[in-house]
Amino acid sequence: MGRKVLVLTETKDGKLRNVSFEALTVARQLAEGGEVVAALFGSVAATNLDEISKYGADKLYIVDEEKVSVYTADAYSQALHQLIEKVEADVILMGHTAMGKDLAPRVAARLGIGLISDCTGVACQNDQVKFIRPIYSGKAFQKKIFKESKGVITLRPNNFEILENPVETEFISFHPEIKDVRTIVKEVVRKAVGGVDLSEAKIVVSGGRGVKSAEGFKPLQKLAEVLGGAVGASRGACDAEYCDYSLQIGQTGKVVTPDLYIACGISGAIQHLAGMSNSKIIVAINNDPEAPIFQVADYGIVGDLFEVVPLLADEVKKMLEVSYA
């Protein structure tokens, strides 16, 4: 007998985030012949219906209410709680994003069910589903299961293959009873403007104290632009006010798992490694050959980043020009 899996999709700037497609793919795996139900909150549903159908949602519940047009914990938790009870979902999936990290424990507590957060893998063995998540700053992994049949799961972005599975999706409007909302969002101020979403970027160019100044991030930004990636930073660079904390990667910042991570002028403190050590390929650029970052790097370049990074950007640009010629 299959499961009924509910996926809370998430949008950014009107578009579905990649982690929503990852969650829909995982949902189809977990359903094991059961039903995959998606939920989309806010007024952006009309522009995303075809995308959700493409990735295997049997039903899509559209919650187009003014109170959920912008995320607030109390409004979203009320709406999602009512939707879960309506569809009688066995498993609830969402991204391990800023929203997911805030919302998932609230919903699990309301329902009195288990929560497994920050999952990087799913394994189905002998009719039992095991969820894999990193512990000890990524040094080890644990496999967890739910004792009961129901549970809430958050998925770390950029860790699951996205597979298209077109189905005929039934679109349903849902109007939850949302009351006593104590939080009102009057304005959203974005510190990181434009560019690729750091948490879902396939390529990240990151700088540490070795960039020496805010001006020192410009070569990194150019390389990231050429590669089609995002710019990140260590806490040391943020503390030194070389860049905004929205770019921080590490134990107290964002956790990223790109295909390529280029660390420029980053020594490799354990707190930073906790946020990027699961990257598929790590390239380190540092003028100190004894820097700890080289111990985790797949490729290392000992040299001045202000000489190496511009050269890399120029070479990559030449390669791309040749490939498109």
The reply to whether domains 4-173 and 198-324 share a CATH topology is yes
Per-residue exposure over 232-264, b if at least 16 CB sit within 10 Å of its own CB, e if not? bbbbbbbebebbebebbbbbebbbbbbebbbbb
**Domain boundary assignment for the chain:** 4-173, 198-324
Predicted confidence at residue 44, as pLDDT, reads: 79
Q: Return the pLDDT at 160.
A: 95
Write down the pLDDT at residue 148: 86
Identify the CATH assignment for 198-324 out of 3.40.50.1220, 3.40.50.970, 3.90.1150.10, 3.30.360.10: 3.40.50.1220
Query: Is there a contact between 258 and 204 (Cβ–Cβ < 8 Å)?
Result: yes
CA 108 to chain centre: 20
Could you confirm whether domain 4-173 is CATH 3.50.50.60?
A: no
pTM of structure: 0.88
Q: Which residues pair with 204 in a beta bridge?
A: 230, 261
Evaluate whether 38 touches 61 at the Cβ level (below 8 Å): yes
Looking only at Cα atoms, what is the longest distance across the chain? 61
Mean pLDDT by 10 residues, the chain (325 residues): 91 90 95 93 80 91 90 94 96 96 96 96 84 88 90 95 91 91 80 72 96 96 95 96 94 93 96 93 97 96 97 93 68
In this prediction, residue 320 carries a pLDDT of 86
- pLDDT score for 43: 80
pLDDT in the model for residue 53: 87
Let me know: does 95 contact 188? Beta carbons within 8 Å: no
What is the three-class DSSP state of 216?
helix
